[in-house]
Amino acid sequence: MDFLELAQKRFSVRTYEDRKIEKEKLLYILEAGRLAPSAVNYQPWEFIVLTKPESLEKIHQTYPREWFKLAPAVILVCGDHNQGWRRPSDNKDHTDIDIAIAVDHMVMATTELELGTCWVCNFNASLCKELFELPHHLEPIVLLPIGYPKVASIPEKKRKHLQDIVHWEKL
């Protein structure tokens, strides 16, 4: 399948089968994140894989949605702002951008494996940091629940038309 087919196939999955994810598949997804580009190749990320019931119970406290509890695995993606590159002209920290690229790579790898995920940012990051005893320099940025999708069909994508967002040479 080519990349645009893969991108069309990806959607936010919020219902999962009661089925464990094979470790090889999780490693494949993590490798996709590891290979992601980052500003000046600083790679300011840490990936924490949660599959044990006690770990999943903790992460559910940070985002207590019923659908989220159905995922058999969650990757907690953290950014290290001490390792992120800062643009010299204005000191812009690129850690969040780098994390977004790595997460997107993982999301697409998840889709390629015919698994599902939903990019979650609306969680209690402070509670997450406390529950998982994260060091001061790490910020929990994204939760990636992963599982086998329990859906009948891929929903239609709602996207702006290309001509509404693309400008040639000027705005």
Q: Name residues whose C-beta falls within 8 Å of residue 93's C-beta, 6 or more positions apart in sequence.
A: 81, 84, 85, 86
pTM: 0.95
Q: What are the b/e assignments for 36-52, b being 16+ CB within 10 Å?
A: bebbeeebbbbbbbbbe
Q: Which segments of the chain have a pLDDT < 70?
A: none
d(CA 75, CA 78): 9
pLDDT at 62 (0 to 100): 98
The 10s digit of each residue's pLDDT in 85-122 is 999 999 999 999 999 999 999 999 999 999 999 999 99
| CATH number where 82 lies | 3.40.109.10
Boundaries of domain holding 146 = 3-150
In the chain, the number of structural domains is 1
